[in-house]
Amino acid sequence: MFRVRNERHERYLAVAVPLLAAVFLLTTSPVMMNWYDVHYFEEWYRVAMSKGLLHVYPECEKVHYPPMAVVFYITTRDLIHNLGLDSNPWTFQFSLKIFLVAFYLLTCLVIIREFEWPIAQWGVISVPMGMVVWGYQFDTIIAFFLALTAVCVRRGRPIAAGVSLALASSFKYVPGILVIPFTLILKEKYGSRPAKIFFLTSAITVALLWSPFILYDPEAFWKQAFLFHMLRLPQDLTPLNIPLLLTRWHVYPYHFIIGKLSGPLIILGFVTLALWLWKRREILQESIRTSGLKHTIWGSAALFMLWFALTTKVGNPYYIAWIYLWVFPFAVWLLPSWCVGFLNTAPFLLALSRLPAAVCNAPVFVPEDVRWYPALQLLGFSTPLAVEKAHQLYLAAPNFMRLWYYHMHQTELVLVVVYTIVVTKTLLDLLKWIRDPKPADERPHDWAIHPMLLAFTLPAYIFALYIALPIG
């Protein structure tokens, strides 16, 4: 009963699983909210409504995003207000999450059209996408536009691909680096003209979207969108966070110096990969010929995104929604299933590692602000129900939770080390494959849902369900 019996059964799974996941996300998401970020987004909305959209960057406290993130939040927030859905916290949070779930479903649609179900299931059952919806961020939108870009590149549609990539990188700018491998692939497959059109379309679209905000106040835009990221401390799922964890979040000057290494390392890796693929053009040619254009596109993008994951100083768990996107097509047939499964569930494990702070009503360190916050206060902004569930867990095992909190930095340290090892192994495996490609296998198993995928992802969904259920 757990195997795919026939093509009809597979089509049923490809429709039912994304829909069930979307319904689950919608029903559980209103009780969770990343209010730390959202309360800054609310300031964008207030300033835009009172003074105008162009005043957001110069007058708001934090706008550390490219313009489309600002435009998207303000537009959807205003729609919710006009429909009268923001008078109640539950309807407000539910309404905000609907847009994210819609983009999750669109991403699933692209994945299912591109890959057979044995592979597609690894992209559809995505804990990172779930974490984005539960918390509220823009990464499901980015994932959709990136997946759409890959499809347009494969079909030789440079204008559509350029616009799509520009939209993705106008929510968070890192995905814009994929213009390099996609331009090189278009040149090898379709010639110089489509490659130039794609590159120019991406650049022109970004310029059109960004220029009003840059021209209105260049200094404010630079400080908000770029300078802040250059000066911030390392945090979350990145090896550059290890020194801070070793000191139990006691900040010293050398932590900032380590953070400043991130930019040069990212650029050095991107330039090296770009020159390697450009100078050794036969690598892309052989990969396209042996593994197919589709897997060459997704695999080359994975190289750049995995390098970013290793060298960024901000290993934001939400980023994994669009880093993991490029890795899942290689599950089972090329990459060990446990590696892909671990990457899938890493954002949940990071959140879980910090659970004792809320359960014990203790402070938690926020590197972005270089200060400690009461964890329950941050949780309470999201939902009173989550606070009650934290209290339940404390009553169930108070001594264990206090001990866990004392060693919370060590728990996160182990997680970051394992994450670094897995990302490094995945990057090396993909480098080896693209140097010596082999035919892609889109049906490496016949499980309805692969056991390893289920084992890694099920705990995250069960925990979300526990938080969402009424208190008994």
Strand partners, 215: none
Instruction: Tell me which of 471 and 235 has the higher pLDDT.
Output: 235
Specify the pairing of strand 363-366 against strand 371-374: antiparallel
Q: If pLDDT is split at 50, 70 and 90, which confidence band does 35 have?
A: confident
Q: Which helix (H) or strand (E) holds 235?
A: strand 235-236
As for how many domains the chain has, the answer is 1
Tokens 């084992």 found at: 455
pLDDT given for residue 386 in this prediction: 61
The per-residue b/e assignment along 322-332, b for 16 or more CB within 10 angstroms, e otherwise, is bbbbbbbbbbb
Spatial separation of the C-alpha atoms in residues 85 and 90, rounded to whole Å: 9
- CB under 8 Å to 400, separation ≥6 — which residues? none
Condensed to tens digits (0 to 9), the pLDDT of residues 268-319 reads: 999 999 999 999 889 999 999 999 999 999 999 999 999 999 999 999 999 9
- pLDDT at residue 401, as a whole number: 86
Instruction: Compute the half-sphere exposure of residue 360: CA atoms within 13 Å on the CB side of its CA.
Output: 19
- Radius of gyration for the alpha carbons in the chain, expressed in angstroms and rounded: 22
Average pLDDT of the chain is: 93
Per-residue confidence band for 201, with pLDDT thresholds at 50, 70 and 90? very high
- 236 is in which domain, residue-wise? 7-468
- Domain assignment of residue 384, yes or no: yes
For residue 318, the 8-state DSSP code is G
Query: Percent of the chain scored above 90 by pLDDT?
Result: 81
- Mean of pLDDT values over 153-162: 98
| Whole-number pLDDT of residue 387 | 63
The pLDDT value recorded for residue 385 is 56
Give the span between the Cα atoms of 256 and 252, in whole angstroms: 8
Mean pLDDT, residues 335-355 taken together = 94
| In the predicted structure, residue 380 carries a pLDDT above the cut 60 | no
Residue 472 pLDDT > 60: no
For 435-458, write each residue's pLDDT tens digit: 999 999 999 999 999 999 999 999
| Ordered alpha helix ranges (H), 226-314 | 228-231, 242-246, 253-260, 262-279, 281-291, 293-311
pLDDT tens profile 39-95: 999 999 999 999 999 999 999 999 999 999 999 999 999 999 999 999 888 899 899
- Helix or strand holding residue 208 (H, E): helix 192-216
Q: Identify the H or E element spanning 70.
A: helix 67-82
CA distance 72 to 172: 12
Q: Looking at the domain assignment, is residue 21 inside a domain? A: yes
Q: What would the pLDDT profile of 381-397 be if each residue is shown by its tens digit?
A: 555 556 667 677 777 78
In sequence order, the β-bridge partners of residue 235 are 314
Strands 235-236, 314-315: pairing kind: parallel
**Residue 273 within a domain:** yes
At residue 195, the pLDDT reads 98
Instruction: Answer with the residue of higher pLDDT: 179 or 360.
Output: 179
33 or 381, higher pLDDT: 33
Residue 186 lies in a domain: yes
Residues 6+ apart with CB under 8 A from 72: 138, 141, 171
The whole-number average pLDDT for the span 330-359 is 93
**Is 400 within the bounds of a domain?**
yes
- How far is it, in rounded angstroms, from Cα 180 to Cα 301? 9
CA-based angle 163:143:174, to the nearest 5? 70
- For residue 152, give both structure tokens: 């347009």
Q: Residue 236: beta bridge partners?
A: 315
Q: Quick check: 351 pLDDT over 80?
A: yes
Residue 2 covered by a domain: no
Task: For residues 147 and 109, give the distance between their C-alpha atoms in angstroms, rounded to a whole number.
Answer: 10
Q: What pLDDT, on the 0 to 100 scale, is given for residue 80? A: 97
* 210 located within any domain: yes
pLDDT digits (tens, 9 = 90+) for 207-218: 999 999 999 999
pLDDT band (50, 70, 90) for residue 221: very high
Listed in order, strand segments (DSSP E) in 337-449 are: 363-366, 371-374
In a domain? residue 340: yes
Q: What is the maximum alpha-carbon separation in the chain?
A: 66
Which residue in the block uniquely carries the two structure tokens 């369900």? 465
pLDDT of residue 34: 86
Least confident of 117-121, 168-172, 351-355: 351-355
